[in-house]
Amino acid sequence: MSVAIKISVNVGLYLKEPQNSTLGKKILKNSIILIDKNGFEAFTFKKLAEEIHSTEASIYRYFQNKHILLLYLFNWYWEWVNYLIIFNTKNITAPSVKLKIILHSFLHAQKENPSTEFINESALHNIVISEGGKAYHTKMVDDENSKGFFSSYISLVNYVSKIIKEINPTFKYPNALASNLFEMSNNQVYFARHIPSLNEVSKKGEDVSEVEKILNYFTEILLEKRLK
């Protein structure tokens, strides 16, 4: 027996909910594997179809195109992080402790007990890190934002922003700080792995924990109480 959590994603992001069928789950599972392995640019529905012994046409019945599929995966990830954060900060009252837990949860999201058999959270996290802002760095941003395709990310940022305000109500830019914490996390991990002269993270394999230290160092200084 187990307690299953089901993450749901903006209905505009799929033509047919992939989590409700065997083929759909296979699409999710193997798209994550393939994108993680070869990168988003090299990923095609044809290759995915071959991988899962299905056809392009069948995949197109679930997702309009690979960009929408990527958005689906990002949304799933953001929702999953949202859940993790809420869960892990439950019953914690001190906002500064909450923030620390959030940063930890976010950076180690992959190590948390995977909840869903067809999603490899670790690979998905790596995609989020490696594919950077490809979810929203397109010409369709404005349209997609108006459809709510980034609302999971926005709500994540808002949640953190609220905690920042609790820690230090005089801090002027809680939203900017919150969004930067998420962006910076991924970026600095990516730099550590690929362009290491851009930061001070040395230990390979422990890059995530090192970045966590950096983020804690930054936030502690930034949010120390004092009138500005």
Q: Distance between CA atoms of 214 and 212, rounded to whole angstroms?
A: 5
| Interaction of residue 214 with a copy of itself, rule CB under 8 A | yes
3-state secondary structure 106-141: HHCCCCCCCCCCCCCHHHHHHHHHHCHHHHCCCCCH
Among residues 50, 56, 142, 206, which is the contact residue for a copy of itself, using CB under 8 A? 142
| Contact track, a copy of itself, 31-50, x by CB under 8 A | -------xx-xx--------
Of the ranges 18-26, 143-151, 165-173, 204-212, which one interacts with DNA (CB under 7 A)?
18-26
Q: Distance between CA atoms of 154 and 44, rounded to whole angstroms?
A: 29
Q: How far apart are the first and last CA of the chain?
A: 54
- Cβ closer to DNA: 20 or 170? 20
Say whether 79 sits in a helix, a strand or coil.
Answer: helix
Among residues 1, 3, 6, 22, which is the contact residue for DNA, using CB under 7 A? 22
- Cβ closer to DNA: 23 or 101? 23
- Nearest CA among 81, 215, 89 for reference residue 163: 89
Q: From DNA, a copy of itself, none, which one binds at residue 90 (CB under 5 to 8 Å depending on kind)?
A: none
Say whether 185 sits in a helix, a strand or coil.
Answer: helix
Q: Write out the residues near a copy of itself by the rule CB under 8 A.
A: 38-39, 41-42, 130-134, 136-139, 141-142, 145, 150, 153-154, 157-158, 172-180, 183-184, 187-188, 190-191, 194-195, 197-201, 214, 217-218, 221-222, 228
